[in-house]
Structure 1
Amino acid sequence: MKIDNQEFHIKGTFYTIRLAVQSDAQSLSEIRLQIDGETQNLDREKGEAFMDVYDFEQLIKADTMNKKNLFLVAAIGNKIVGFSRCEGNALKRFSHKVEFGVGVLKEYWGYGVGKNLLKESVAWCDANDVRKITLNVLESNEKAISLYKDCDFEIEGILKNDKIFVDGKFGNTVVMGRFK
């Protein structure tokens, strides 16, 4: 699979969105761990389900070979500041859809990194006849939900008390989908 690099200039910051490559594995391992510790909006606590360099090398290799998967990174020069994945399913009954996930370093929130990773993923899905994109988002993450709605996602349901946080409080998960 081939996609063209996309350049963005927002608030005086230039960044590129491109396919993940093997040499990104070290940075991806480090920033995923950092992102997990910067927000409760993701599924993991910092350090949970840790992926080392080898794990990312294998994931990038598999995604590069699988026409149903897309692994993008956002980079400022050589520094990765965010990433997203669309992961397809090998089962025929689910072959029409992918699941989308995204992570951006907190320092780069507000620069359109997540929004542009999403838009590039949606464009790839549309070009590759993906008929449905699904994602899960914390109900309290109103900014993300608004962004997803702006990109034609709709709420399909709410999973109540789906996540438990360090303080013992629960959070609901919003299940969203975009249909082609």
Structure 2
Amino acid sequence: MIISESMFTVRGVTYRIRSAALADAKQLSALRLKIDGETEYLDREPGEAFIDEKGFEALIQEDSKECRHLFLVADIEGDIVGFSRCEGHSLKRSAHKVTFGVAVQKAAWGYHIGKELLAASIDWADQQGIQKMSLQVMETNQKAIRLYEHYGFEIEGLLKKDKRLADGMYYDTVVMGRQRPVS
């Protein structure tokens, strides 16, 4: 699905949240690889499950036409610094929900980009009548957990010792969900 773009200025940095376009595919491939190497909050090690330009083009095309999918990017003067996706489900028993994921490069942290990607996704989901948004977040990412809670997500469970990080220790994944408010 395609949404209208929005502009934000935080501490002198202006960025835009908009739907992903085919022309973004090359930047998205490089950005995803970069972000995977900047933090252990995501599922992948750098280079794992690599998505090339053609792969991102396919994702963008699918997400643009599917009413239960949303692919957003954040850019600063044309340079993509973050992205988020909501992926809907085709099975009838799961058609009421989407799964949300977000990634922002470290140099762009602190400008509320993840927050605005989340807020835009929630607005879109509510407008589409989507009943539930779900996500998974590492237990070590307390800032993200607090943000999700602020936007109405609740902890639904833990995947115990779900991820092994560089320190050799195992960490839990927190499963969170947000129910659409009753109008």
* TM-score normalised to structure 2 length: 0.97
- Name the amino acid aligned to 1:171: Y
Q: Map Cα deviations across residues 53-104 of structure 1 (whole Å, 9 max, x no partner).
A: 0000000001111111000000111100000000001000000000000000
Aligned residue number for residue 161 of structure 2: 161
Instruction: Choose 158-167 or 91-100, whichever is displaced more.
Output: 158-167
Q: CA deviation at 1:166?
A: 2.8
Q: CA RMSD in A?
A: 0.6
Aligned residue number for residue 107 of structure 2: 107
Secondary structure of the 2:48 match is coil
Secondary structure of the 1:99 match is strand
Gaps of 5+ in 2: none
1:102-141 alignment, distance < 5 Å: 102-141=102-141
Gaps of 5+ in 1: none
- Name the amino acid aligned to 1:106: K
Secondary structure of the 1:70 match is strand
Aligned residue number for residue 61 of structure 1: 61
1:1-180 alignment, distance < 5 Å: 1-180=1-180
The CA distance in 1 between the partners of 2:126 and 2:93, in whole Å, is: 19
| Identical-residue share of aligned pairs (%) | 53
Cα pair 2:33 2:47 within 8 Å, conserved: yes
Secondary structure of the 2:47 match is coil
The CA distance in 2 between the partners of 1:29 and 1:100, in whole Å, is: 19
Q: CA deviation at 1:168?
A: 1.7
* TM-score normalised to structure 1 length: 0.99
* Count, aligned residues: 180
Secondary structure of the 1:87 match is strand
Cα pair 2:2 2:64 within 8 Å, conserved: no
